[in-house]
Structure 1
């Protein structure tokens, strides 16, 4: 658990230049991966209440990272898409997180990294 907390803290720090919380960054990744994401789908992906997904989307929209539009298949529903600025932030933040992860895991020698990866895959729910 300490290692997980350490990694979450490091990721929060890595996201600081974009003033994104880890939760906002995850939401942006979901929308970026599934352009035209409904708010209900965002809530499900983040395991949060629909009202909370609306708040996260509001924050991302206020920063110009996502935009809302009517769902082409159901005008009552709203879908989210990333803006050009949102895609840029996604790419930059992903690069920063990757660099930070490399920095963290290079503390282990290659054999230990391979063993850790194998063990984590074994324990994963996926």
Structure 2
């Protein structure tokens, strides 16, 4: 008979709330830095740009993006439509199968992605400022253990 899973500690609810608050704070700080650059992307659009950039060489298909984002293909179409309207991505036919559409970053999209990354780094720096170098390193290791460790769900 499997042993019962341990009951959550009394502090786990508080820890969950702190994680949510930290995530929100990070998002607000990033949006603040982006506003100064006059760049406005939703978190989902930002993530899609990062994913498209991840595909070096052959641009991803819409189905690839839906899988990576863990959303239905229609949601990807909406995101791509908005990013295409902003000039950040473009649809290109697959040279091997013209019925397949691939999504690639434009020069505008690459500049925007650089600004998004810069805003994220600035936001993180702002939030982590009270921590010492040693605390930052330990915090990074703890986050890596949570993000990359056992029990990770895709």
Q: TM-score, normalised by structure 1?
A: 0.90
Of 19, 22, 27, which aligns to 2:43? 22
Q: 1:95 & 1:69 partners in 2: Cα distance?
A: 28
Structure 1: gaps (5+ residues): none
Range that drifts further, 52-61 or 1-10: 1-10
> Counterpart in 1 of 2:105?
82
Return the structure number with greater strand share: 1
Residues 33-80 of structure 1, C-alpha deviations (whole Å, 9 max, x = no match): 215111111111111110000010000001111110111222211001
Q: 1:97 & 1:79 partners in 2: Cα distance?
A: 27
Q: How many pairs align?
A: 126
Q: How does 1:1-126 map to 2 (within 5 A)?
A: 1=19, 2-16=21-35, 17-34=38-55, 36-125=59-148
Q: 1:106 & 1:82 partners in 2: Cα distance?
A: 33
- The root-mean-square deviation of aligned C-alpha atoms, in Å, is 1.6
Structure 2: gaps (5+ residues): 1-18, 150-154
Q: 1:50 & 1:4 partners in 2: Cα distance?
A: 27
Residues 88-111 of structure 1, C-alpha deviations (whole Å, 9 max, x = no match): 111122112111211211221112
Which of structures 1 and 2 has the bigger CA Rg?
A: 2
What is the DSSP-based 3-state SS (H/G/I as helix, E as strand, rest coil) of the residue aligned with 1:18? coil
Per-residue deviation at 1:5? 2.2
Return the structure number with greater helix share: 1
- Stretches (4+) displaced over 6 A: none
